[in-house]
Each structure stands twice: as C-alpha cells, then as structure tokens.
C-alpha cells in the first residue's frame, strides 16, 4: 500500500517535472518570493545499474505494417564505461497487426501471414562521460495542491544550481524483425510484376530482416533532491534521458517466395534495401519503481519504398535496482 502511494506520488511529481537541485543549504528566487531549501543529494553518478521496462503499449506507423502491441526492455549500466540494452516487442493480436489482418481476410495466395515481431540488442560505449554544473528550474509542488486546486494555480518555480552528467556515446547492436507485407503495393510502387501471377491477384507474403546498427548518442542524467521551506515536500529530478542517431545495415533481407495454386513463384523481382537510418530519444527515472517513454522516426531496411516508420512507446512500470537491497530506497 505504501509503495503504491509512493509510486502514484512519484509519477505525479515526474509529470510536472518537479525536481532538481543544489549544493548544501541555499537560497533561490520564486517570482518575488525568497525560498530557502536544503539539498538532500546531488549525485548523477549514483544511479541504479539495472532497469526492467514493462511496456504495456507501443504504437508504430510502419509503411510495411502498422501495428500496436506490447514489449519488454532491459537496460544495464556497467560502471561509467558501457550501458547495454535489449528490447523485444510484438503486436497484441491479429486486429492490431494490420497487414496480417488484411492478409488473413483478402490474400489469394497460400502464404500464411506471420505475427509482427521485433528484437534488438546492443551496447553504448561512453566516449566522454563527465559531470558539469548547470541550473535547473524546479516547480514548487505540495500535496496541498491537489485536483482543482493545482489546476487553478499558476505554477511557481525556483532555479537552483545542480549537476548534470553528460555522456557522448558510440552505439553498436543488432536488430531483427519479421512481418507480413502487402506485395501488391510494393510491386506497384517499384513497377515490377511476378511472372505467372496475374496483376489482379491479391498477394500478401512475409519479410524477414536481420542486421546491425551503428551510431552515436547523447545522454543526460540528473539525480538530485531538495527540501524547500514553507511547507513544500521533497522535490527531486532524477531523469535519465538519451537521444541517438543510428545507421542500420541489414545483410539479410528475405522476401518470402509466393505460393499460388500449388506452385511456387520467386519473389526475386521485388527489390529490397539493406540500409536504413533512425533518430530517437528515450527517458526514464532513477527509481525503484517508475515509468519511461521512447520515440523513434526513420527508414528501416526491408522492401524498397516500404521502410518509413514512426514509433512511440510507454514503459509502466519500470523497475530499477542497484543490487544493494540493504541501502536501496525509493526515489533515489
């Protein structure tokens, strides 16, 4: 019950970006009001080592296959040199695996449409990992301001000196996905045909892609808390944010041959593309229980002309641990 209350309170505080912090006991200005506060901690290197993201929902607008589903993600930080990431996701059901659903209802060939699955594993090497001084805006929030009281207020804030950890990283990893695909649309765009199959036949098949990504990233970590006077509670900012850009290379792009009226027809006329790019960002919080988010946009390797995608995902809850249960505390 207590953990549920703390999670609810922490989640609310995070959404309004309540937190950040200073050195020792300090004074800051809130409009024309002087706020005195005490620093509780300011330690961007003192973060959890392992984060497990349960992702109850993601949505992906992918030209090959629009899909909505669930996923699981794991992050591990190895000292100040590496961080590792593994991720898997799949569509909820046929109705949220849109091309598969269309294939099941309309396809006139014998190929069985596959469930959409996506897998990724990789690591980031910290080329530069340093701490810098900065100033952070902290919104003044109290449990006294709930519901309509908070909605009716103009939020007050203070600016406090704090530390930020900046990580310039080099990324490398592997990706794999398989999905159903509308071959008619691909061939129409590419202006190709499958010899022996009429243009009026509705053709759906499967695509399997395996490759690598290489890129760079910028990570920002704040992990501090203050206790203002005047009846405010503890305000903290423990955001772990990462922005990245990758080039994707897939030596293996397999377009399934077509089975029609008991015969197998080669899919070789359908052109494939082994290169792709993406830009994205993700964020989470340095807590035993928290939440996270992520977004990507880019062009994936696969069938030529069918690689554009936009991805949004939510992680709730995110479980974090530093493997030291004796000292572990919520919110730090």
Task: Return the HEC string of the chain.
Answer: CHHHHHHHHHHHHHHCCCCCCCCCEEEEEECCEEEEEEEEEECCCCCCCEEEEEEEEEEEEECCCCEEEEEEEEEEEECCCEEEEEEEEEECCHHHEHHHHHHHHHCCCCCCCCCCEEEEEEEEEEEEEEEEEEEEEEECCCCCCCCHHHHCCCCCEEEEEEEEEEEEEEEEEEEEEEEEEEHHHHHHHHCCCCCCCCCCCCCEEEEEEEEEEEEEEEEEECCEEEEECCCCCCEEECEEEEEEEEEEEEEEEEECCEEECCEEECCCCCCEECEEEEEEEEEEECCCEEEEEEEEEEECCEECCCCEEEEEEEEEEEEEECCCCCCCCCCC
Position 65 scores a pLDDT of 97
Are 328 and 320 contacting, i.e. CB atoms less than 8 angstroms apart? no
Position 143 scores a pLDDT of 58
Structure tokens at 80: 């100040």
The reply to whether omega before 317 is within 30° of 0 (cis) is: yes
Position 159 scores a pLDDT of 84
Q: Name the nearest CA neighbour of 253 among 181, 173, 172, 171.
A: 181
Cα→Cα distances 163→129, 133, 134, Å: 13, 5, 6
List beta partners, residue 206: 180
Are 32 and 280 contacting, i.e. CB atoms less than 8 angstroms apart? no
| Whole-number CA gyration radius for the chain | 25
What is the Cα–Cα distance from 34 to 93, expressed in whole angstroms?
A: 55
What is the Cα–Cα distance from 160 to 165, expressed in whole angstroms?
A: 16
Position 99 scores a pLDDT of 97
Model pTM above 0.85: no
Task: Per residue of the chain (332 residues), give pLDDT as tens.
Answer: 444 444 444 444 444 433 333 333 344 444 445 778 888 899 999 999 999 999 999 999 999 999 999 999 999 999 899 999 999 999 999 999 999 999 999 999 999 999 999 999 999 999 999 999 998 888 776 655 555 444 445 557 778 889 999 999 999 999 999 999 999 999 999 999 998 898 899 999 999 999 999 999 999 999 998 888 776 778 888 999 999 999 999 999 999 999 999 999 999 999 999 999 999 999 999 999 999 999 999 999 999 999 999 999 999 999 999 887 554 444 44
Walk across the sheet containing 235-237 and list its strands.
Answer: 25-30, 33-42, 224-228, 235-237
What is the Cα–Cα distance from 294 to 280, expressed in whole angstroms?
A: 7
Structure tokens at 310: 């936009």
Burial class (CB in 10 A: 0-12, 13-18, 19+), 231: exposed
Are 160 and 135 contacting, i.e. CB atoms less than 8 angstroms apart? yes
Structure tokens at 328: 């572990």
The separation between CA 143 and the C-alpha centre of its own chain, rounded to angstroms, equals 30
């Amino acid at each position: 019950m207590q953990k549920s209350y703390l999670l609810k309170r922490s989640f609310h505080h995070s959404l309004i970006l309540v937190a950040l912090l200073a050195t020792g006991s300090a004074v800051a200005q809130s409009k024309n009001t002087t706020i005195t506060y005490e620093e509780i901690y300011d330690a961007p290197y003192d973060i959890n080592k392992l984060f497990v993201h349960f992702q109850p929902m993601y949505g992906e607008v992918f030209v090959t296959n629009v899909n909505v589903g669930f996923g699981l993600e794991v992050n591990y930080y190895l000292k100040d040199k590496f961080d590792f990431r593994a991720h898997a996701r799949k569509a909820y059901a046929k109705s949220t695996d849109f091309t598969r659903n269309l294939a099941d209802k309309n396809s006139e060939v014998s190929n069985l449409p596959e469930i959409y699955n996506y897998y990724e594993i990789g690591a980031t090497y910290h080329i530069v990992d340093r701490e810098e001084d900065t100033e952070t805006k902290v919104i003044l929030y109290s449990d006294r301001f709930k519901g309509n009281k908070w909605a009716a207020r103009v939020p007050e804030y203070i600016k406090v000196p704090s530390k930020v950890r900046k990580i310039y990283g080099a990324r490398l990893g592997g990706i794999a996905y398989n999905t159903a695909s509308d071959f008619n649309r691909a061939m129409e765009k590419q202006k190709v045909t499958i010899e022996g199959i009429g243009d009026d036949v509705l053709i759906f098949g499967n695509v399997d892609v395996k490759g690598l990504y290489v890129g760079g990233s910028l990570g920002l970590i704040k992990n501090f808390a203050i206790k203002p006077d005047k009846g405010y509670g503890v305000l903290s900012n423990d955001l772990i944010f990462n922005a990245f850009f990758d080039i994707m290379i897939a030596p293996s792009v397999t377009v399934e041959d077509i089975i029609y009226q008991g015969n197998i027809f080669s899919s070789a006329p359908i052109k494939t593309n082994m290169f792709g790019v993406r830009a994205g960002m993700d964020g989470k919080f340095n807590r035993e229980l928290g939440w996270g988010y992520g977004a990507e946009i880019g062009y994936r390797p696969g069938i030529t002309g069918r690689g554009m995608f936009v991805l949004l995902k939510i992680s709730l809850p995110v479980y974090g641990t530093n493997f030291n249960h004796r000292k572990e505390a919520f919110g730090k």
